[in-house]
Amino acid sequence: MCGVTNVTATSVARASKRATHIHIATHGFSSAEPSTAAALSGRSPSSIRSLTPLSASGLALSNADQYGEAAIVKGAILSGDQLAHLDLTSCALAVLSACDTGIGDAPPGIAAYSLRRALHEAGAERTITSLWPIPDHETQELMVEFYRLHLAEGLSISDALWKARMNRRNAGATPRTWAAWALGSTP
């Protein structure tokens, strides 16, 4: 789906079935931030609070901002629940290059209901997600470096992410731009 401009929840589900690597660069929202979740999903903040944590988290896809409350019906929002029901059993790495994809509501004693958790529930072996809002340009630079190190130079996922982050730090980037990225893996 590289370079696809009209991405919907259905097209993501179809393309991800046998994918070994998935990278989605878009806007993300988390139930941990109800006002952001409301703005990106076209829902009211009070309706966000009434949803399950994964239903209130998601990714804004093509034209999400044009549909308002109909965005989910139109497939312009991929909710955490929908993400958790994808078949990612062939996926070695899923990257959500979007804000707040690694955070979510965390009831006592239970792992956070985040998009990272949804990816693991869907079967992804490893994930890279963000822990706070991230700037587009600097994120692109870090991801290009990560993939160069991992795919072209053969570093492991964890070593490539660490080295890409350190390269950005050593180039003078602020921690806000490189420290947000967290690697998760299934047990």
Burial class (CB in 10 A: 0-12, 13-18, 19+), 186: exposed
The residue ranges of every structural domain in the chain are: 16-185
The SS3 of residue 164 is helix
Confidence check: pLDDT of 152 > 60: yes
115 phi/psi in degrees, rounded to 5: -65, -30
Task: Work out the widest C-alpha separation in the chain, in whole angstroms.
Answer: 48
Confidence check: pLDDT of 1 > 50: no
Q: How many CB atoms lie within 10 A of CB 50?
A: 10
Mean per-residue pLDDT, 94-115: 84
Mean per-residue pLDDT, 45-66: 73
Rounded distance, CA 179 to CA 162, Å? Answer: 10
Rounded distance, CA 121 to CA 88, Å? Answer: 9
pTM of full prediction above 0.75: yes
